[in-house]
Structure 1
Amino acid sequence: MYNNHHGIYTIRGDMCYENKLMANTALPGRPPAESICLTVSDHDRNSTTPKRKRRLRISPVTVANVFIILIVFASLVFLEYGPTPSAKLGFYCKDPTISYPYKGDSISLLLILGGSLVGPLIVIAATELYREKNFNKRWGIEIWNWFRDFTIGMTVNLLLTQVTKVFIGEHRPHFFDTCLPDAAQTCLPGEFITDYKCTNSIYSNYVITDSSRSFPSGHASVSVYTSLFCAIYIHLRLPSHQLRLVIKPFIIVCILLWSVVCCSTRITDYRHHWWDVLAGFILGIACVVYTVITLCKPFEMPLVVSKTHRPSASTTTLLDVKNKDATSVII
């Protein structure tokens, strides 16, 4: 069909075999031409539409979140190294529980924090890569989402631990060796001393102040939080049907051993009492439960599509040739 008055030509489209479109072109004043079959996919491929450039927009919520995170991390640094107002703890004269030698840390603060940030990032990236099978945009988005939730929970854990250390605290097992309180030389056994002054000039003020921050164990809370989060993440996100029976449990056990080693060395290094480690253990569990239930989205397993429900290769979408934005029809 064509219109001589407006001088336009039309295309008549009918269904052809093999998902093709039968078209008859007609110019003004001329009879319709012979019918030809056009492949819908060829039409889609040849047609070009201008692509709009996306502008990077930062929402006010994102700015507020970044600002809050910076404030929290600044507060953590100030609580750890700044002159925070904390109560001066007393001690019992000749107390054997705080008379151990100072041996240092088998697992340093830098190692525990670095391992608790880099380790989960590697676990999340490897797991999402195994699920996606390639380095696409969705792979990066999933890594960011999971690591963001992990980092928020870790920040909450560190904040609770550090505030408790500063405002409650407890003498470490090596307190006498680190502080060398002047009143400990003349006091009677069993006497409770509150008025004393540290006389040890070998260690810095930070080490002496830190000798009264034993409760709770920060190494225990951080390592337990990290290990449990990674174990739960791998258990629910890593497909079991594609791995052998031993591989997945072996990975989870190796991750959990990290927390066992961290907690054990805090006691053998005389850096914490056993109840300090237990308190940090409980705090780490509470924070990971809060993170998994409240912050994280549901742990979804990969969608398995049955072969009987897969669309056939010949199925395609028939587009209106005259208007590409028209509603699609599935053949």
Structure 2
Amino acid sequence: MAVEEKPGVKSSSSIVPCFLFVELVIMAGTVLLAYYFEYTDTFPVHIQGFFCYDKSFSKPYPGPESASKIPPVLIYSLVTAIPTLMILAGELCTFFIKAEGVREKTIVTADCCYFNPLLRRIIRFLGVYAFGLFTTTIFANAGQVVIGNQTPHFLSACRPNYTALGCQTTLQYITERRACTGNPLVVMAARKSFPSKDTALSVYAAAFTAMYVTLVFKTQGTRLTKPTISLTLLCLAALVGVVRVAEYRNHWADVLAGFFTGGAIAVFLVTCVINNFRWLQPGAPSPRPQRPESLLGMPMVTLPCVESPLEKLRGDLRSLRSHDRQPYRFPAAPDVLIQSRSISSEV
């Protein structure tokens, strides 16, 4: 016997199983992979060679990451706190300001568990954001491990013995793995430059939050609030990249690659995974599938129209009837027999 759905309640029996056995498993795997990339040597860094006295790698050593003007701890705190607070504030305001008729239906699972739409949206958006944050970390760390590009201060951290290596000209290329005499941990960190992980995380957080502010916040009476917040977040993310280059911790190419990585992941998650933060309106008709059209609104392929011989024959008979006032019929046989009566017989 089917269970009758109450008004304002939508039945679903797949939310909890999918959340427990699919989404949590994927999230746990993503977190573990990010941990192995960041804090273990499971994935060894590719060791590239270098030219003797290469000026692009001879910048002074800026010190450990914690000595930076924007240390990683500050970046990780901001990319976690600012989007979380924005999403919480936006969802609370949207839920209590929205009219009752356009709220999303409450989800009921197995007729026993009820999920408030506000709680469901918060968990969905924060979960997708956290997944994207760890995914950005994985992409950045994977690029650094696979490519092994050196930082601008690589030679200062490596401290190669040019005499023992026989460096006489700047065109001599050194490929020996034991060429560096500096601290192995510092040297290994100096081989992870492309792409810039801090820049990728900053841009991802800024782009995700800016799209949320633009698509969800409703600011009546002012047109500059949302652009101001969005541009401020994006400028802070760009400032992280500028500081990384100014302190000789990354090249411009590393920063640009970080911009692209973080921005692409944010745009993909917002547009393809959470559907631009839209509320599901109950009773709204599903959009009809439209024909594929070009960007200019014209059909992509235009086929020639061929007139049917039968339609042409019917048109001729109609025109004949309009002039002679004679009835006609279409028998099953191919030949068309027309029975006509004269005007005198009709009289």
Please name the residue that 2:24 is paired with: 66
**For residues 118 and 64 of structure 1, what CA distance do their matches in structure 2 show?**
26
1:121 aligned onto 2:84:
yes
Q: 1:135-174 to 2 correspondence within 5 Å?
A: 137-174=116-153
Partner of 2:275: 297
1:198 is aligned to 2:176: no
Q: What SS does structure 1 have at the residue aligned with 2:21? A: helix
Unpaired runs of 5+ residues, structure 1, are 1-56, 304-331
Q: TM-score, normalised by structure 1?
A: 0.67
Equivalent residue letter for 1:95 = D
Of the three residues 88, 94, 119, the one matched with 1:131 is 94
In structure 2, give the amino acid aligned to 1:223.
S
**Structure 1 residue 58: Cα displacement:** 5.0
C-alpha deviations, 1:20-68, integer Å up to 9, x for none? xxxxxxxxxxxxxxxxxxxxxxxxxxxxxxxxxxxxx952652343233
> What residue identity is the alignment partner of 1:286?
A
Aligned to 2:344: none
Q: Could you tell me which amino acid in structure 1 is paired with residue 62 of structure 2?
A: K
Answer yes or no: is 1:107 the counterpart of 2:87: no
Contact between 1:181 and 1:198, CA under 8 Å: does it hold in 2?
yes
Cα distance in 2, alignment partners of residues 127 and 61 from structure 1: 24
Equivalent in 244, 253, 259 of residue 266 of structure 1: 244
**Once structures 1 and 2 are overlaid, which stretch shifts more, 263-272 or 146-155?**
146-155
Gaps of 5+ in 2: 1-14, 98-114, 282-347
TM-score (norm 2): 0.64
Paired amino acid for 1:79: F
For 1:225 and 1:169, the matched residues in 2 are separated by: 23
Q: Which residue of 1 aligns with 2:108?
A: none
Alignment of 1:182-197 (within 5 A): 182-183=161-162, 186-188=166-168, 189-195=170-176, 196-197=178-179
Contact 1:93 1:192 survives alignment (8 Å): yes
Counterpart Cα distance in 2 of 1:275 and 1:74: 28
Three-state SS of the structure 2 residue aligned to 1:101 is coil
Greater helix percent: which structure? 2
Shift, 1:156, TM fit: 2.0
Show the 5 A alignment for 1:282-321: 282-300=260-278
* RMSD of Structure 2 on Structure 1 (CA): 2.4
Q: 1:227 aligns with which of 195, 198, 206?
A: 206
Q: What amino acid is aligned across from residue 187 of structure 1 in structure 2?
A: C
Q: Distance in 1 between matches of 2:84 and 2:191?
A: 33
Q: Any idea what the Cα deviations from partners look like across 1:193-245, whole Å, max 9, x if unmatched?
A: 101432124xxx4332110010011112111111111111100100132x523
State the Cα distance separating 1:256 from its structure 2 match: 1.4
